Structure 1
Amino acid sequence: MAAAQKHDVYQAIADPTRRKMLKLLAEGNYSITEIAGQFPVSRTAVVKHLQVLSDASLVADRKAGREKIYSLKADELLEVQEWLSFFEQYWDNKLAKLKHIVENEE
């Protein structure tokens, strides 16, 4: 039997619905039913999205009676933040050079 596919963080956040789910879970812990009520997709689709997020270690779940409660695991997003910070610095440098050129032409 094949091992379960591990999704990478970038694949997981590529989908806008999953990004919205992460934002929702940043506000608190929610059951599948509560999450599904926030999206115009089927409960099955919500479960599949949550599985991708779980496979990327972006969410955790726990059983509460007959429901699963999901919570955000934001630590995995540090990789994305570090990657984006490189480009933020790149653009800061480019804008600083442009500012210097424009100010020196005046």
Structure 2
Amino acid sequence: MPIGLLHSAPLFAALGDTTRLRLVCRLYQEGSASISKLTAGSGVTRQAITKHLRRMQNSGLVRSTRRGRERLWQLDQRRLHDARRCLDLISKQWDDALARLRHLVEDGTFKRGSAVRMSRTTV
């Protein structure tokens, strides 16, 4: 697996949960928030929110700072940009593959039932 994907896999794993996606949206809107604030109105326990934030922290998606007795959580915007770059690259690879296929079909070099090996680019 290419290095770029290895680096991005924990990030996408962290984003692959509904509760964590909601936390990303809340932190994006609010800038920073305590666990108490994130728990309020979420329908999720404080312990579950803490667990999700730790998972997100391990992927580099969020970071926390202490303010008095509470810990404030913020998004790390750089990791969101990393995810966007990775998705853009994957999108480009699909666009390139479809363009090659279109070229083969339009040229008539692609024949039904024939095996055509297409080059692959990795992230």
If the length of structure 1 is used for normalisation, what is the TM-score? 0.73
Post-superposition offset of 1:86: 2.7
Task: Identify which of 36, 39, 42 aligns with 1:36.
Answer: 39
**Residue 23 of structure 1 aligns with which residue?**
25
Residue 90 of structure 1 and its aligned partner are, at CA, apart by 5.0
Partner of 2:14: 12
The answer as to 2:55 corresponding to 1:52 is yes
- Cα distance in 1 for partners of 2:18, 2:83 equals 16
Kindly provide the amino acid, as one letter, of the partner of residue 55 in structure 2. Answer: V
Aligned partner of 1:3 in structure 2 is none
Q: Secondary structure at the match of 2:65?
A: strand
Worse-superposed segment, 11-20 or 43-52:
11-20
Unaligned runs of 5+ in 1: 1-6, 102-106
Q: Which amino acid aligns with 1:9?
A: L
Quick check: 77-86 or 50-59, which moved more?
77-86
Q: Cα offset for 1:10?
A: 1.3
Q: How many Å apart are 1:44 and its aligned residue?
A: 0.2
- What amino acid sits opposite 2:59 in the alignment? A
Question: Structure 1 38/73 Cα, relative in aligned 2: closer, same or farther at 3 Å?
Answer: farther
Matched residues in 1 for 2:11 and 2:43: separation? 24
Larger Rg computed on CA atoms:
2
Structure 2: 5+ residue runs without aligned partners? 1-8, 107-123
Q: Percent identity?
A: 26
Looking at structure 1, the residues matched to 26 and 35 of structure 2 have their Cα atoms a distance apart, in angstroms, of 12
Write the distance in 1 (CA, Å) between the matches of 2:80 and 2:41: 23
Count of matched residue positions in the alignment of Structure 1 and Structure 2: 94
Cα RMSD (Å) of the superposition? 2.5
